């Protein structure tokens, strides 16, 4: 698997979908950078700017491309497209 990928996941405290997304990535042995927006308004604003105002978490980016939330990540995994994105 290509190690030249970057995954960023915006999360908040007590977020089950965030935990599910991180678990999916861990199970695939993919590294990611987690940015918790719970207590930092600047990080929350950064996420809102990058997602065109989407306020739900998680918000996931792979190689600077906005993937969406857990449902979108899970769909990429179940359709075997996540590996294609990571290996580009």
In CATH, what number is assigned to the domain containing residue 64? 3.40.30.10
> What's the rounded mean pLDDT across residues 25-49?
97
| 13 inside domain | yes
| 2 inside domain | no
Residue 1, SS3 per DSSP = coil
Domain that holds residue 26: 7-86
Task: Report d(CA 23, CA 38) in Å as an integer.
Answer: 19
| 1 inside domain | no
Element (DSSP H or E) covering residue 86 = helix 81-86
Share above pLDDT 70 across residues of the chain, in percent, rounded to a whole number = 97
Task: Report d(CA 81, CA 87) in Å as an integer.
Answer: 10
Peptide bond just before 31 cis, omega within 30 deg: no
Count of domains observed in the chain: 1
- Residue 2: band (very low, low, confident or very high) from pLDDT cuts 50, 70, 90: low
């Amino acid at each position: 698997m290509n190690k030249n990928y970057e995954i960023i996941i915006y999360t908040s405290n007590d977020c089950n979908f965030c935990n599910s997304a991180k678990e999916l990535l861990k199970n695939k042995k993919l590294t990611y950078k987690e940015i918790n927006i719970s207590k930092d308004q600047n990080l929350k604003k950064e996420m809102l700017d990058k997602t065109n105002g989407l306020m739900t978490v998680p918000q996931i980016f792979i190689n600077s491309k906005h993937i969406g939330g857990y449902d979108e990540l899970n769909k990429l995994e179940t359709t075997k497209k996540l590996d294609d994105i990571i290996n580009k």
